[in-house]
Structure formats: C-alpha cells, structure tokens
Amino acid sequence: MPRSQALPPLTTLVAIVALGGLVAAAASTLGGAIPGPMPLFPSDNWWNLGVSTAPIDPSSASSIAFIGSTRTMHPDFGGDVSPGSAQVYGFPYAVVDSTVVLRTVQFQYADESDGVDHATNRSVPFYPIPDEAIIQPHWIEGGDPGTIDLRSSSDRHLLMVDRDHRYLYELYNVFYDGSQWHAGSGAFFDLNANRRRPDGWTSADAAGLAILPGLVRYDEVFGPDEIKHAFRVTVRATNGYVYPASHRAGSTVGALPMGARLRLKASRDISGFSPSMQKIFRAMKRYGLIIADNGSDLYVSGTYDTRWSNDVLNPAFRALTANDFEVIALGYQAARPASPTNLRIVGH
C-alpha cells in the first residue's frame, strides 16, 4: 500500500532551498531511470496489448473522415522551447525513492481523486511530490515551477514514479500556493497490477487512464529493444468512452470515444524513415494509439527530453495522415478484463 509519512514544516523546506541544494530532503530525479520490468504494467495490460490482428471497427472509415483524412500527425513532445527557457515540450516525469515525503493535495474533483478519504472528503498525505517542483522549472508539464499559477491556461500535469515500490502517481493542473499543493484531479496506479479506474472516474487524464505508460520515451526509442506498448493520442472532440477508458469528456456526434484505439495500417510503407522513427511507427502498427484526452487531432504524447531532435521528429510524423490509420473494434480486448477496483478508500 502507498506510504504515509508526516509532513515536515515549511521552514524545513525553506532551509533546504536556502542551502542551494547542498542538503537534500529526499532523492528525486527528473526523467530518471524507470524501474523495470518493461513495459510498464503487466504484459497483459491494455497499454501492452498487441492489436496487429484485431478486427477493424465497422465505423472506422467514418471516424477517420471525422478527424479529416488528410490531417497530419504531430509529435507533442521534445525538449526546451528555446535555449535557457523554462517552457518545455512534452511530459516531464520524476522518479523518486521511498524517502520522499508524501504531500496533501487539495482537489477540484476530489470525489474522483485518490489521496482523499471519501468518507470525510478530506485530503491526506499521499503524493510523493519532489520539493524541487515547487521552485525549479521543468518538473511540471509546460515547464514553469509549481509556484506559478497557470491552471486556467495549461494542463500542468505532474507525474511521479516511486521506484522502490513501482507505484505511479499522476496529478492534473497543479499549483503550489506557498504552503499547499492544489490540483484538478489525481490518481494512483500500482504498476505491478492491472486496475481500471471505477466507471465514471477520471484520473489525471480525461479518459481515466494512466499517462506515463503511453508516452513515447527517448530511452525506448534509442534502446536495443522494440517498443512494446501503445501511445497516448489526442483528438479535438470525443463522444463517450469505451474500455479501457473509464471517463467521458464529450458527446460530439461522429467523434470517437475516449479509449478508442487507432492502428497504423500494415500496408503503410515505413522503410524510408530513420531507424528511430521506424521503431515508433512499428509500435503504432503492433499496439496502436489510445485516445486519452481532447486536444489537437493526432497529437502523439511523449516525454520531455532535451535529446529529442525536432528536425527528425516533426517531418517524420507529418508524413503520416489520418488516412494511414484505421480504428480497431471499439472496446477491443483479447481476454477478460481486470475487474474495476473501487478506490473510494485512500489505501490501495
């Protein structure tokens, strides 16, 4: 079960900051090594489900037409927006150890968030948020530190992996007001198990899914092995949700539901792309892309990493259009799904 620790006084945090990092409250690494085995979650998790032979949905053609058959794909990740800038492309993530103090987060959507005692509707110390995220840039999606309130204009996700327990904590729309963390919603995932959110619940993502397992990661793209999971993708509008999603965020007629899975057509020739791009596109053929949020059409999510080259990513992704994809049978699953676990109690 997730850990529980006493919250240190704010003066302790201030003293740590004043020492200029000479004293560390706990071990936190921005973009650190994610604990194996890989891919994240068990091999039979929905993110890791091979769909190269899955049936095509009867409405695939009309769904692609709704997106726009000539709509091009875009890599929604990269490095710094400009040299020395606080702003970043992609999702940062923090890898922490079991000594990081658990923080209380006040939620806008507390009834669908973890880290809340739903009997009293009170938040409890639950999230291992690195102290660095308070005043240092690059720890939170968008790049600005937690003390800058951008909740009205940015998603501001904060992703954390407890490497000692293989736990994943994800927060949406965070802000630190000087003494307290705030967020729109928050979710906990045990990477050792398959557990969907309760039906109707969101997560830190609109669809109710985990974010980190669906990101394009630099270490996978340039590592020795094939990528063995689906990718997170957004579209401009959605209509309800299907397995493995648990939450709706739209009811636009003709749009795909949250949880729908796109697959790069087997007939699409990818031999002309660089080896790294071929690896990404092979994963799109084998595992597909899962619609997880409303946003720009065919924006594929990945990690913030200064080693990405937009000169390679952008033209390669732009060469793919919606017409190169098909929609597999909505709600497709190769085996009986894991039973939803109602997380109405703080512990897991």
Establish if 344 belongs to a structural domain: no
3-state DSSP call for residue 292? Answer: strand
Q: Is the pLDDT of residue 345 over 70?
A: no
Higher pLDDT, 285 or 1: 285
d(CA 143, CA 85): 8
**Residue 133: what are its φ and ψ, rounded to 5°?**
-70, -15
Q: What is the Cα Rg of the chain in Å?
A: 20
Establish if 211 belongs to a structural domain: yes
- Check residue 19 and give its pLDDT: 36
Largest CA-CA distance found in the chain, in angstroms, rounded: 62
- Domain housing 103: 10-327
Q: Is the pLDDT of residue 86 over 70?
A: yes
Q: What is the mean pLDDT of residues 84-112?
A: 96
Establish if 246 belongs to a structural domain: yes
- Check residue 26 and give its pLDDT: 54
Q: Is the pTM of this model over 0.85?
A: yes
What are the C-alpha distances in Å from 239 to residues 111, 197, 233, 263?
23, 19, 15, 19
Establish if 265 belongs to a structural domain: yes
Q: What is the mean pLDDT of residues 305-334?
A: 97
**Number of Cβ within a 10 Å radius of residue 53:** 9
E strands of the chain, at which residues?
28-30, 74-76, 94-96, 105-107, 116-117, 122-123, 158-162, 167-172, 175-176, 181-183, 185-190, 231-235, 261-264, 289-294, 299-301, 325-327
Q: What is the mean pLDDT of residues 184-213?
A: 98
- Number of independent structural domains in the chain: 1
Q: What is the mean pLDDT of residues 142-148?
A: 98
Which residue is associated with the tokens 């705030």? Answer: 182
Establish if 292 belongs to a structural domain: yes
Establish if 98 belongs to a structural domain: yes
pLDDT one-digit tens code per residue, 232-279: 999 999 999 999 999 999 999 999 999 999 999 999 999 999 999 999
Establish if 2 belongs to a structural domain: no
- Write out the DSSP string of 231-252: EEEEES--BSB-TT------B-
Burial bucket for residue 35 (CB in 10 Å: 0-12, 13-18, 19+) = middle
pLDDT one-digit tens code per residue, 21-75: 333 445 899 999 999 999 999 999 999 999 999 999 999 999 999 999 999 999 9
Determine the length of the chain.
348
Establish if 333 belongs to a structural domain: no
Which residue is associated with the tokens 């720890």? Answer: 139
3-state DSSP call for residue 334? Answer: coil
- Check residue 84 and give its pLDDT: 85
